[in-house]
Amino acid sequence: MTVALDLGSSEFRSLRNTESQLLARRIEAIYTVVSDSPQQRQQLLAANIPFLKSACQLIVPGSSARAVSELQRTPIVPIIDGGGIPVDDPIGRQVLAGLITSLLPNVSGRGNLTPCYATLPTETT
């Protein structure tokens, strides 16, 4: 199996070649943050919206962030801004790691290393 990972500035994509098929995944490279409360968690769970927990906040990554942002009136935050991985945004780095993990296949065992090729955005002049 071979995996290609494209970390674009607006969305992340992966393409993997298994023995019998070609599988593609993509997710928007954005998130929004809402306050953590039992009611908020219940609403997100009931709507089947994925979220991450961070201190007293809930982080909604990917395309679900747009809907939650509109309802909660919270800003949408790009994960990659200005062509680079956020250095001073710990939440953004946590979301970045979670989204990359969701795009990559599970480890298939020791000794079975999967080649992974990645493309990253760069600053344009």
In this predicted model, what pLDDT tens digit does every residue of 61-79 receive, in sequence order?
Answer: 999 999 999 999 999 999 8
Query: Does 97 have pLDDT greater than 90?
Result: no
- Judged by average pLDDT, the poorest of 8-22, 24-38, 98-112 is 98-112
Higher per-residue confidence, 124 vs 94: 94
* Domain edges within the chain: 2-119
3 pLDDT exceeds 80? yes
Surface-to-core class of residue 72, CB atoms within 10 Å of its CB (0-12 exposed, 13-18 middle, 19+ buried): middle
CA distance 75 to 51: 16
pLDDT of 32: 95
Q: What pLDDT sits at residue 102?
A: 85
Nearest one of 116, 79, 114 to 99, comparing CA atoms: 79
